Structure 1
Amino acid sequence: MLNGRILVVAFEGWNDAGEAASGAVRSLKDELDMTEIFAVDPELYFDYQFNRPTIAAEDDGLRRLSWPGTVLYAPTVPGAPAESLAADAQLNVSGANSGNIYLLLGTEPSRTWKGFASEIIDAALAADIGGIVFLGAMLADVPHTRPISIFVSSENAQVRAELDVERSSYEGPVGILSVISDAAEKVGIPTLSIWASVPHYVHNAPSPKAMLALVDKLEEIIDVVIPRGDLVNEAAAWEAGIDALASEDEDMAAYITQLEQARDTVDSPEASGEAIAQEFERYLRRRGDGRSDEPWRPPNTT
């Protein structure tokens, strides 16, 4: 059902804990030979007081503005759009089809989501996209010392049957990924979602370990060997850095031990998907509840 050219999508913002999803797609863009083929007009979809432009010095020494937006990238040498990327149910990685990976990377828009989604779908249809894979990341009560939990789901019955994945049971507020997914399915483009769980106690820093986990799962599903670049070393350094912080803080270390014990209790192949889905629901419902960034600290009662 996921045939031909696959579009891999990630957005900075609400769907992107630890910059894991956007970081994974950005890593793919850096490692693969890609070229820009489409970009939305940022004036139509972004509130610059919420998503401000940035300025930075470039290699030529000049400082230039960078505006929030969304860009579609295609391989410099595209593959044939008719070739199946998920032909075998065992998800064996052949290394073929590297010319069939397309990327969509951007910032979640501030307004006009229906119009935004329509533009993205029109661009996908023009590029002969045969399936869309959405990458997301959520904050969760998980330890950084264990493998990153990954939850794969699809709203498409044929994709679920072919890849043996689940349908999400979540009900509640959604991000732009769900809006684009709904629009894609309505025009006949099958979709799949891959979500990573990021330890909430280190949410202020990018999580290369979660980026790597998303890339690993993506490689399994779309039948192509994906270069990792520096992600493996960066993931190891990220984990070692948190270990060093915890070694100097007994409360934090004890809290992480509790998370490890809870993870080990539920970490079985048959339970992991349901457990991650439940954690996703808890995460969405507790957004904005004033939760401390350091939950291992006792509350200040003075």
Structure 2
Amino acid sequence: MNGRLLVVAFEGWNDAGEAATGAVRVLQEQLDVSPLFVIDPELYYDYQFNRPMLAADDDGRRRITWPTATISGPAKMAGTDEDPAPLADDAELSVSGANGANIFLLLGSEPSRSWKAFTAEVIDAALTYDISTIIFLGAMLADVPHTRPISIFASSENDEMRGALELERSSYEGPVGILSVLAEAAEDAGISTLSIWASVPHYVHNAPSPKAVLALIDKLEEIVDVVIPRGDLVEEAGEWENGINVLAGDDEDMAAYIAQLEQARDTVESPEASGEAIAKEFERYLRKSSDGKGDGRNEPPTLR
């Protein structure tokens, strides 16, 4: 992980519970960074899908903010060839080792069109700023219980990265978001990549998940070797879990469904669980979830 690191998150399909973008925003708040590169939104966004937002600025004037993607980094880098100052000098972030001035951020909305051209702009900017590794943050809806630690999966298509960090290669095949497109282009350009994904309980998909944000930050801190202040995240994660407990307590179907998820999760994580036992437990759970018997529905319940 030597060299400059770019941490990436996009709103939209890759951002269940706003966990990935929430984690990058935590970094943005703690790091002394300024915009270095902003993509022109005209070519890449459908404004009827990603609408511009009207809000008051610091002077009280109402301004329109357009959907886009922005790379942020040390302020001294903007328009100069100077080496950046350590990011932690004026922030509550303690960066260890050689990473003191090496963390960059890319935050934006997933583009609506022209993904190849969009990707080319991002990769060109990454090469311009001499980024050596890109870390993609994502979050997906999954059949997981909110009462257990958020599941995190880290993977890489880069052989050297997998060996150094003991990561796996993802076996997923199917539709992808902009993160996968950028990752392939980055590897082709000689920039190593890794992905960190959080699993967010699908039955609370309408609400932001501070517990998933916290899990992503924990894993990012472990891999990048930084110390990231959690602020109010720990308290917010507890309130989020307690709030779901209250709602589920008034819904027998939901409480029973969560108990099934907890049983499946505990079986998988028990020390004595064999591969065969785990497979049988999930087969039993999937059969029970898919046959729709009992309440006459084919879909699991959802909190609203």
1:6-155 alignment runs, 5 A limit: 6-76=5-75, 95-96=96-97, 97-155=99-157
Secondary structure at 1:171's aligned position in 2? coil
Task: Summarize the Cα distance change of 1:179–1:207 in structure 2 as closer, same or farther, 3 Å threshold.
Answer: same
Letter in 1 for 2:266: D
1:165-204 alignment runs, 5 A limit: 165-204=167-206
Aligned position for 1:156: 158
Q: Contact 2:203 / 2:301 at 8 angstroms: preserved in 1?
A: no
Letter in 1 for 2:255: A
Query: By how many angstroms is 1:240 displaced?
Result: 1.2
Task: For residues 230-289 of structure 1, give each alpha carbon's deviation from its aligned partner in whole angstroms, at most 9, with x where no partner exists.
Answer: 211211111111111112222211211111111111125897xx99xx9xxx9xxxxxxx
Query: By how many angstroms is 1:229 displaced?
Result: 2.3
Q: Mean Cα displacement is larger for which, 240-249 or 100-109?
A: 240-249
How many Å separate the matches in 2 of 1:160 and 1:111?
32
How many Å separate the matches in 1 of 2:21 and 2:127?
22
Task: Summarize the Cα distance change of 1:164–1:74 in structure 2 as closer, same or farther, 3 Å threshold.
Answer: same
Q: Which has the higher contact order (CA 8 A, sep 6+)?
A: 1
How many Å separate the matches in 1 of 2:152 and 2:193?
17
Q: Contact 1:37 / 1:73 at 8 angstroms: preserved in 2?
A: yes
How many Å separate the matches in 1 of 2:29 and 2:270?
35
Task: Summarize the Cα distance change of 1:119–1:80 in structure 2 as closer, same or farther, 3 Å threshold.
Answer: same
Counting matched residue pairs gives: 269
Q: Mean Cα displacement is larger for which, 152-161 or 259-268?
A: 259-268
Aligned position for 1:296: 301
Structure 1: runs of 5+ lacking an equivalent: 82-92, 283-291, 298-302
Structure 2: runs of 5+ lacking an equivalent: 85-93, 287-296
Aligned position for 1:300: none
Aligned position for 2:3: 4
Task: Summarize the Cα distance change of 1:77–1:156 in structure 2 as closer, same or farther, 3 Å threshold.
Answer: same
Q: Contact 1:5 / 1:100 at 8 angstroms: preserved in 2?
A: yes
The TM-score with structure 2 as length reference comes to 0.82
Task: For residues 120-178 of structure 1, give each alpha carbon's deviation from its aligned partner in whole angstroms, at most 9, with x where no partner exists.
Answer: 01111111111000000000000001000000100000101111110011111111001
Letter in 1 for 2:107: L
Q: Contact 1:55 / 1:64 at 8 angstroms: preserved in 2?
A: yes
How many Å separate the matches in 2 of 1:294 and 1:247?
20
How many Å separate the matches in 2 of 1:111 and 1:218?
30
Identity of paired residues, percent? 68
Aligned position for 1:88: none
Letter in 2 for 1:142: V
Q: Which of 220, 227, 233 does residue 225 from structure 1 map onto?
A: 227
Q: Mean Cα displacement is larger for which, 54-63 or 154-163?
A: 54-63
Task: Summarize the Cα distance change of 1:218–1:293 in structure 2 as closer, same or farther, 3 Å threshold.
Answer: farther
How many Å separate the matches in 2 of 1:117 and 1:111?
11
How many Å separate the matches in 2 of 1:222 and 1:166?
17
Query: By how many angstroms is 1:80 displaced?
Result: 6.8
Between structure 1 and structure 2, the one with the greater Rg is 2
Secondary structure at 1:36's aligned position in 2? strand
Q: Contact 1:98 / 1:225 at 8 angstroms: preserved in 2?
A: no
Q: Contact 1:152 / 1:192 at 8 angstroms: preserved in 2?
A: yes
Q: Mean Cα displacement is larger for which, 171-180 or 219-228?
A: 219-228
